[in-house]
Amino acid sequence: GGYESASKHFNPADVEVDVAGRSFLVTGANSGIGKAAAKEIARRGGTVHLVCRNKERAEVAKEEIVTETGNQNIFLHIVDLSNPKEIWKFAEKFQNEHKLNVLINNAGCMVNNREITEDGLEKNFATNTLGTYIMTTALVPLLEKAADARVITVSSGGMLVQKLNISDLQSGNGTFDGTMVYAQNKRQQVVMTEQWAKAHRNIHFSVMHPGWADTPAVRSSMPDFYERMKNSLRTEAQGADTVLWLAVSAEATKLPSGLFFQDRQPVPTHLPLAYTHSPPEDEEKLMEVLEEFSQKFKSVSPG
């Protein structure tokens, strides 16, 4: 019932806005929270770029969004966010062809066994952390040119149990626990957001916890949790509400850049007495390591 009680304090007018002429990019947009957010933005007249991995499912999602909203300005891009070379290639092409006001980093995965991609990267890290890092940093130059530019990253309250661990980014040590690896990736997204907010003052960065929503991702990667909780999970639209609010409302950007949100409110990124704070040098080191990784996969394209 968290959403019901929180939403009593929402101002509906915050999201009753016309965003025609503004361009939004949503990753992982063919289901769940990504699709729900894309649909709501489309309803408000925004141009929406859906970035998805699976072409068939993405086409169905695009069709549904166009049909339900009547908005024809919905574009599809097929990109595997666990593949850093593909993200670079996409971002470079996108910059030449489109403008961008708002980036929504929603794509994520929770793989419960240690899986290595063709680039030698652990799959969760490749998608949730490095993929988000490359997509964002590659598109920053385009966002820098836009009015009221924003970047929203969909994290998870699960990150509250994790302290940033930069010594084992690819979870190669000890027993592999997919849920904890995911939570660590989500902590990394919070740190990245805080660091980006310091580095890029004219873009508004935020990161958020959607609450636990009934999405295909939760059903497939956390089946036991889903069985226990299915009657009290949020709908996809409820999970996407704060994403939408951060993406379109004027209220969101009145708050400082770099904050962590739940139910349209900034909330702490650490639980009391949880010892999950990191020294600043660890947070800077994370950014350095991600930058090294990202450059390694950036091909020098001719011209």
DSSP code at position 78: E
CB 173 within 8 A of CB 125: no
How many angstroms separate the Cα of 222 from the Cα of each of 110, 158, 219, 284? 9, 13, 6, 32
Please give the model's pTM, rounded to 2 decimal places: 0.95
Q: Which residues are CB-contacts of 144 (< 8 A; sequence separation ≥ 6)?
A: 200, 202, 203
Burial 195-229 (b: 16+ CB within 10 A, else e): bbbeebeebbbbbbbbbbbbbebbeebbeeebeee
**How far is it, in rounded angstroms, from Cα 101 to Cα 144?**
9
Map residue 252 onto helix, strand or coil.
Answer: helix
Three-state secondary structure readout of 263-289: CCEECCCCCCCCCCCCCHHHHHHHHHH
Please state whether beta strands 203-208 and 74-78 pair in parallel, antiparallel, or not at all (unpaired): unpaired
Q: What's the confidence (pLDDT) of residue 220?
A: 77
- Tens digit of pLDDT for each residue in 3-54? 988 999 999 999 999 999 999 999 999 999 999 999 999 999 999 999 999 9
* AA identity, residue 195: Q
**How far is it, in rounded angstroms, from Cα 30 to Cα 216?**
11
**How far is it, in rounded angstroms, from Cα 146 to Cα 140?**
10
Q: What's the confidence (pLDDT) of residue 1?
A: 61
Which amino acids are annotated catalytic? 182
Q: List the beta bridge partners of residue 151.
A: 103, 205
Q: What's the confidence (pLDDT) of residue 160?
A: 94
Residue 226 has pLDDT above 70, yes or no: no
Q: Kindly state the average pLDDT of the residues 207-218.
A: 81
Tokens of 11: 């101002």
Of the two residues 120 and 225, the one the predictor is more confident about is: 120
In the chain, the domains with their CATH numbers are 2-296 (3.40.50.720)
**How far is it, in rounded angstroms, from Cα 53 to Cα 82?**
9
**How far is it, in rounded angstroms, from Cα 21 to Cα 24?**
10
**How far is it, in rounded angstroms, from Cα 153 to Cα 243?**
8
- Tens digit of pLDDT for each residue in 277-287? 999 999 999 99
- Tens digit of pLDDT for each residue in 112-139? 999 999 999 999 999 999 999 999 999 9
